[in-house]
A = this chain, B = another copy of it.
Amino acid sequence: MIRIAVQRDAIDLPAEMTLAEAAGTGGIATFTGLVRADDGVETLELEHYPGATEAALHAVAAGAVARWSLSAATIVHRVGPMVPGDRIVFVAAAAAHRAAALEACAYLIDRLKTDAPFWKREVRDGDAAWVEARAADADAAGRWG
| Chain A residues close to B by CB (< 8 Å) | 13-14, 17, 21, 24-34, 36-38, 84-85, 87, 96, 98-99, 101-102, 105-106, 109, 140
Contact = CB atoms under 8 A, between A and B. Distances in A.
Contacts of A30: 29-32
12 contacts: A17-B32, A24-B85, A25-B36, A25-B38, A26-B33, A27-B31, A27-B32, A28-B32, A29-B30, A29-B105, A102-B102, A102-B109
A38 to B, nearest CB: 7
Contact of A29 (B13, B21, B25, B29): B29
Contacts of A29: 29-32, 105
Nearest to A28: B32
Nearest to A102: B106
A76 to B, nearest CB: 14
B31 A98 contact: yes
Nearest first, the 10 closest Cβ-Cβ pairs linking A and B are A14-B14, A24-B37, A28-B32, A30-B30, A102-B106, A26-B36, A29-B31, A27-B33, A13-B17, A98-B109
A87 B18 CA distance: 11
